[in-house]
Amino acid sequence: MKPIVIGNWKMHLTASEARAFLRDFMAHPAVFERAEVTLCPTGPVIPIVADTLRGTAVRWGGQNAHWETQGAFTGETSMAMLADLGCTLVLCGHSERRRFAHETDADISRKVEQTVAHGMTPVLCVGETYEQRRQQQQDIVVIEQVRKGVDLLAAFPSLSLYVAYEPVWAIGTGQTIESADAMAMARLIRSTLREELPTGADSVPILYGGSVTPLNVASFVDGDSITGVLVGGSSLDPVAFHQLIAQLV
């Protein structure tokens, strides 16, 4: 299985900055054949990224979308809009959305369901806060987020799902978890998926995210419990992000 690398640009890179990024990033494309690489720009920038990447090995996805098909939801983007632009995946329940947009596990499970219903792959993001880890609640928190996140998936005959474990305290802080601890959490996520899903739990890729850099990325991806990474800051620099991917192939 190819290593999976997803770049979450968050609220960074304007259209013109994205064009400049892609010029440099795509200068040496051979590496993209040996990994599954997806860029997640903001909504307005997706068409620009899509136009450049169409026909290459690099994919693009959304950072978020609403669970309703359409309607009076000012400021929101629908899953159908992302699918229409050729997005292959959608991040669901990123901790920044749980925190800043007050998304609940119930909201997130509907987003996961609707991503699948629109033919894309949900990347269910889970992870504990610093305080929860300090109180040794991380296992309970993550199990609960996984269980609720996949709640509506049993109805689908074939499963399309990624899970990204991102400890909140490791996001954008330069602090990383011990790789052995990340792998232990990935195994816990796997056993939770086995309990919750009727079939296919063993084929769900589990990713790690949180201050991943070209220097530490290889320590998180063992190709067994963790098969890829979800990258924020290090995905904004085309050279660094290219180097990061090259470490895995």
Position 75: which residue type?
A: G
> How many Cα atoms are found within 13 Å in the side-chain-facing hemisphere of 72?
0
What is the biggest distance separating any 2 CA atoms in the chain, rounded to whole angstroms?
48
Exactly one of 172, 187, 215, 223 binds ligand 13P (CB under 6 A); that residue is: 172
The 3-22 site mask, x for binding ligand 13P (CB under 6 A), equals -----x--------------
Neighbouring residues of 59: CB distance < 8 A, sequence distance ≥ 6? 36, 37, 38, 39, 53, 88, 89
Least CB distance to ligand 13P at residue 38 (A): 12
Exactly one of 132, 166, 183, 201 binds ligand 13P (CB under 6 A); that residue is: 166
Of the residues 66, 94, 118, 242, only one is catalytic, namely 94
Residue with smaller CB distance to ligand 13P, 126 or 231? 231
Least CB distance to ligand 13P at residue 174 (A): 8
Residues between 25 and 84 with contacts to ligand 13P, criterion CB under 6 A: none
Given CA atoms 237, 242, 247, 249 in this order, what sign does their dihedral have?
positive
Least CB distance to ligand 13P at residue 106 (A): 21
Helix (H, G, I), strand (E, B) or coil at 217: helix
Separation of alpha carbons 196 and 147, rounded Å = 6
Residue with smaller CB distance to ligand 13P, 70 or 208? 208
Specify the residue for token string 């919750």: 196
Residue with smaller CB distance to ligand 13P, 42 or 211? 211
Q: Which of 64, 74, 24 is CA-nearest to residue 42?
A: 64
Instruction: Record the tokens describing residue 61, joined without a space.
Output: 């996805």
Least CB distance to ligand 13P at residue 186 (A): 16
Instruction: Give the range of 18-26, 130-138, 164-172, 195-203 binding ligand 13P by CB under 6 A.
Output: 164-172
Residues between 186 and 245 with contacts to ligand 13P, criterion CB under 6 A: 209-212, 230-234
Given CA atoms 194, 199, 205, 211 in this order, what sign does their dihedral have?
negative
Catalytic annotation present for 68: no
Neighbouring residues of 239: CB distance < 8 A, sequence distance ≥ 6? 24
Catalytic annotation present for 242: no
Residues near ligand 13P, by CB under 6 A: 8, 94, 166, 171-172, 209-212, 230-234
Residues marked active site are found at 94, 166
